[in-house]
């Protein structure tokens, strides 16, 4: 189902953004600490939102199957 693929891609992209921010912070800790912290928080929220999409899609499929049986 398409929502699962879209949410999985969103989780992957957000995880990559988080890791890139962590690498930049490790390489140069004083360059932009506030901006990097915001980037990691934003990426974390994106992962949570995409996980919620996956849970909702799973619930909807379960409900549809319950109705059909």
Query: Residue ranges per domain, the chain?
Result: 2-68
Taking phi over 0 as left and psi of -120 to 50 as alpha, with beta for the rest, 46 belongs to alpha
pLDDT of residue 18: 98
Tell me what percent of the residues of the chain surpass a pLDDT of 90: 81
What span, in angstroms and rounded, lies between the C-alpha atoms of 46 and 30? 25
**pLDDT the model gives residue 1:** 64
pLDDT at 67: 87
pLDDT above 70 (res 38): yes
The mean per-residue pLDDT over the stretch 45-57 comes to: 97
Rounded to an integer, the average pLDDT of 42-48 is 98
């Amino acid at each position: 189902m398409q929502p699962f693929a879209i949410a999985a891609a969103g989780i992957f992209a957000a995880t990559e953004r988080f890791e890139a921010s962590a690498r930049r912070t490790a390489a140069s800790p004083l360059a932009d600490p506030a901006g990097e912290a915001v980037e990691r928080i934003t990426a974390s929220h994106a992962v949570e939102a995409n996980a919620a999409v996956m849970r909702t899609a799973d619930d909807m499929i379960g409900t549809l199957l319950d109705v059909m049986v």
